[in-house]
Amino acid sequence: MTRRTPVRLGATLIAITAALALAATGAAAQGKKPWRHGIIEAKSDSGILFMADKGGFAKKLGLDLEFVQVKTDQIGLKALLAGELDSYEGGPGGAILAGARGADVKIVGCHWLTVPHGIFVHDDIASVAALKGKAIAVSSPGTMPEMLARGALAKNGLSVSDVRFASLGGDLDRYKALLARVVEAAVVSAEYTPIAAKEGIKLLVPGHEALPEFLRVCLQSTGKTIAERPDDTARFLAAEMQALRYALAHKDETVRFARELTGAKADDPRPGYIFDFAVKTAAVAPDLPLPLDRLGWLQDQLVANGSLAKATDIARLVDGSPRAKALALVGN
């Protein structure tokens, strides 16, 4: 008996050591595997939104971060659910619709809290009422552009049946359609404001006035990814937090980066305009909050406009655990 006891103990210690080594190897493997993050194609605000990719914040946290540009929210969300992306940032409406229908999608933080878009029209249109019977360029149902248009119409006594919605992809597509008078109004980013006047176009309805509760951009992942790569999920959010803080504190660098990404000329006023807009309206929240009340409001709008049959428990679509770990990494 005395000889067998040490053997059992030795085997137990070996098993424990092996298990710890395996866990350490798994944790290390998380950091070595690239983290593919989907993001809407670079626009004038990309200096802020893409800073995590440029600034080396993820690398310092041991994460190989790869940004993948997509044209629309719908494409990004589909890629996320198909496992082609580890995370995606876009309007939370799509995530709510997909999650309510059983898809494995989790909202893990929101960083652009107000709508920088608005309804733009030609100078000969003086009011929302004048849009009756006319075409408005939006995006697909349930997305921010479409909901912004609905909200503005409702506040001015019009309904969707009073106008015609044209789904036309991204901001640039919608702005070009407005310029060519294919449509009489278009929901596009406020970044076009400083160049619109020269082209006989004006901002008719600011989005943050039409939809003050609307969340523009939230970071989304899947329950599967969070479970399999918890440390990397936290590192990714921590990198975003640090990058957003940095971007907001370094205007010249951020604006210059946006011009590089978009190929804009040095005298293009849009990157600087949208940066100042974000700071002035406190649009960007580097701590990536998860405002359940505003997400719940958004879900109610989706139910009201028929995009969603009935509301679900919004908390079920949110996972705050990666954010808590990220805050611990960067410091509150």
Each of the 332 residues of the chain gets a pLDDT tens digit; together they read 323 333 333 333 333 333 333 334 344 445 479 999 999 999 999 999 999 988 899 999 999 999 999 988 889 999 999 999 999 999 899 999 999 999 999 999 999 999 889 999 999 999 999 999 999 999 887 778 888 999 899 989 999 999 999 998 788 899 999 999 999 999 999 999 999 989 999 999 998 888 889 999 999 999 999 999 999 999 999 999 999 999 999 999 999 999 999 999 999 999 999 999 999 999 999 999 999 999 999 999 899 888 899 999 999 999 999 999 999 999 85
The full set of domain ranges for the chain reads 1-32, 34-114+214-330, 117-210
Instruction: Identify the architecture of domain 117-210 in CATH.
Output: 3-Layer(aba) Sandwich (3.40)
d(CA 148, CA 253): 31
d(CA 273, CA 257): 14
69 φ/ψ angles, rounded to the nearest 5 degrees: -80, 135
pTM of the model: 0.81
- Fold match, 34-114+214-330 / 117-210: yes
126 φ/ψ angles, rounded to the nearest 5 degrees: -100, -15
CATH topology for 34-114+214-330?
Answer: D-Maltodextrin-Binding Protein; domain 2 (3.40.190)
Cβ neighbours of 248 (radius 10 Å): 18
d(CA 91, CA 65): 21
